[in-house]
């Protein structure tokens, strides 16, 4: 799971638009991943596409 967290952080960090917003999204994603699990991760991935 730690590896998945790191990958998601890198993905957000590499996005050129709104680093601050991306950082907040990463925070929420980590929390959601711990609370809900993989289902939340998929939802966050769709949000990443929406941001782009």
Per DSSP, 41 falls in state H
**How many domains does the chain divide into?**
1
The predicted structure's pLDDT at residue 9? 57
Residue range of the domain that includes 40: 18-52
Please choose, from the candidates 33, 34, 35, 9, the residue with its C-alpha nearest in 3D space to the C-alpha of residue 23: 9
Q: What's the burial of 29, exposed, middle or buried (CB within 10 Å: 0-12/13-18/19+)?
A: buried
Neighbours of 41 (CB within 10 A): 16
The predicted structure's pLDDT at residue 23? 52
The predicted structure's pLDDT at residue 27? 57
Mind listing the pLDDT tens digit for each residue in 10-52? 555 555 555 545 555 555 555 554 554 455 555 555 554 444 4
Q: Quick check: is 13 in a domain?
A: no
Q: Quick check: is 2 in a domain?
A: no
Q: Quick check: is 32 in a domain?
A: yes
């Amino acid at each position: 799971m730690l590896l998945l967290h790191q990958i998601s952080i890198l993905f957000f960090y590499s996005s050129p638009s709104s680093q601050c917003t991306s950082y907040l999204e990463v925070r929420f994603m980590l929390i959601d991943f711990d609370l809900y699990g993989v289902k939340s991760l998929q939802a966050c991935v769709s949000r990443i596409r929406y941001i782009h």
